[in-house]
Amino acid sequence: MSITTAAYAVPSPTDPLAPWTFDRRDPNPSDVLIDILFCGVCHSDLHQARDEWGGSTYPMVPGHEIIGTVLAVGSEVTKWSVGQTVGVGVFVDSCRNCENCKAGLEQYCDGGISGTYNGVEQDKVTPTYGGYSTKITVDQNYVVSIPEGIPLEGAAPLLCAGITTYSPLMHWKVGPDTRVAVVGLGGLGHMGVKFAKALGASVTVISHSPGKKEDSARLGADDFIATNDPDAFKNNAKRFDFILNTISADHEYNDYLGLLALDGVMCLVGLPNPTTVAAFPLVGRRRSLAGSMIGGIAETQEMLNFCAEKGISSDVEVIEMSYINEAYERMLKSDVRYRFVIDLASLKS
């Protein structure tokens, strides 16, 4: 038997999302079946739906910022019980045996993670389908608990935008002595600002949208740099210890590297097309260019607990499932404050 599931899917890179129905597997002994309540809309959904990274498979059901309620559990499930509020993020399985998996860094699994969508199960054959759907069946080890106190719609984006910004800030030990710049105030960027502030850093937003200045202050940033000012890069040269670069579109990394102080690090989390990196901006101040991908399951739970403790959640615009194609167009125009979140009730009625 299998579970009939309503969804929105992309049939090809050039088509819009449209209603689709498919079957989820019945829970295996170590699986939980989740009734999806909310799913965030990540820019990675759009990149993959339109095959901007190559290798996309169709039909694709995007969505990897999933919040839901446990509907059923397999016979060997010990971690979860029916009725609990849980989350599922960017991956739903990994090899579990490599050094990275054993270290809780499943996102860097040597055998390859099973992406929540546009991926395959560990059998490397069965396609995975994401959270723009009413239900999902997931192994219990790839599920996290949503602490009480976080509004559920504001919790959904934590499963990708939250952990993707929290993890590098922790890895590079951002704290009260760190001068941080968050580049790009979108879904990831606004979470980066909240986390960096909560960690005590001084935070500057660098944005190509001058109209986001007031929001940037409201979110906690100490300063705002609009990149449409022709002197922005010159006037702020050598100013930051750590830059979290969340820009989704093609841009000149070398300009931003010049904003780093001695030994500064620019960590890329945004995933635009390949571009040229020059040696001189790195060499001149012993700067580093780095990258970071989401976070492991244990760190995701740590981040959620941190959010509950500090009263952090995402600023969201809740939408109906049928609004998704407009939401994509608005996201491309950087016109979202600051994450679209789909209310899956709109697909159940």
The neighbouring-strand residues paired with 66 are 39, 88
Stretch touching Zn ion by CB under 5 A, among 7-15, 105-113, 193-201, 202-210: 105-113
Give the nearest residue (CB) to ligand NAP. 186
What b/e string do you get for 217-249 counting C-beta neighbours within 10 Å, with b at 16 or more?
A: eebbbebbbebeeeeebeebeebbbbbbbbbbe
**Which residues inside 230-259 make contact with ligand NAP, applying CB under 6 A?**
246-249, 251
Structure tokens at 144: 């996290």
Cβ proximity of 216 and 206 under 8 Å: no
Integer CA distances (angstroms), 324 to 17, 60, 328, 333, in order = 7, 14, 6, 14
At residue 72, φ and ψ (nearest 5 deg) are -160, 155
In the block, residue with structure tokens 């499932």:
321
56 binds, among Zn ion, ligand NAP, none (CB under 5 to 8 A by kind): none
Q: Which of 110, 118, 70, 60 is nearest to 91 (CA)?
A: 118
Q: Can you tell me which of 7, 105, 136, 185 binds ligand NAP, judged by CB under 6 A?
A: 185
167 binds, among Zn ion, ligand NAP, none (CB under 5 to 8 A by kind): none
101 lines the binding site for Zn ion (CB under 5 A): yes
Cβ proximity of 123 and 15 under 8 Å: no
Q: How many residues bind ligand NAP (CB under 6 A)?
A: 31
Q: Can you tell me which of 209, 236, 300, 301 binds ligand NAP, judged by CB under 6 A?
A: 209
Which residue number, 138 or 160, has a Cβ lying nearer to ligand NAP? 160
The neighbouring-strand residues paired with 206 are 183, 225
Cβ-based neighbour number of residue 338 at 10 Å: 22
207 lines the binding site for ligand NAP (CB under 6 A): yes
56 lines the binding site for ligand NAP (CB under 6 A): no
Q: Can you tell me which of 32, 33, 37, 42 binds ligand NAP, judged by CB under 6 A?
A: 42
Any idea what the Cα angle at residue 242 is, between residues 200 and 108, rounded to 5°?
100
CA distance 250 to 105: 28
CA distance 185 to 89: 21
Integer CA distances (angstroms), 80 to 118, 131, 213, 305, in order = 26, 19, 42, 17
Stretch touching Zn ion by CB under 5 A, among 18-26, 76-84, 108-116, 317-325: 108-116
Q: Which of 279, 304, 276, 292 is nearest to 242 (CA)?
A: 292
Stretch touching ligand NAP by CB under 6 A, among 21-29, 98-106, 208-216, 277-285: 208-216
160 lines the binding site for ligand NAP (CB under 6 A): yes
79 binds, among Zn ion, ligand NAP, none (CB under 5 to 8 A by kind): none
109 lines the binding site for Zn ion (CB under 5 A): yes
Which residue number, 118 or 207, has a Cβ lying nearer to ligand NAP? 207
Taking the complex as a whole, the smallest distance from the CB of residue 56 to ligand NAP amounts, in Å, to 13
135 binds, among Zn ion, ligand NAP, none (CB under 5 to 8 A by kind): none
Cβ-based neighbour number of residue 263 at 10 Å: 10
CA dihedral 249, 252, 255, 260 (to 10 degrees): 60
128 binds, among Zn ion, ligand NAP, none (CB under 5 to 8 A by kind): none
92 lines the binding site for Zn ion (CB under 5 A): no
* Residues at the contact surface with ligand NAP, assessed by CB under 6 A: 42-44, 47, 160-161, 164, 184-189, 207-209, 212, 246-249, 251, 269-272, 293-294, 331, 334, 336
* Residues at the contact surface with Zn ion, assessed by CB under 5 A: 42, 44, 94-95, 98, 101, 109, 111, 160
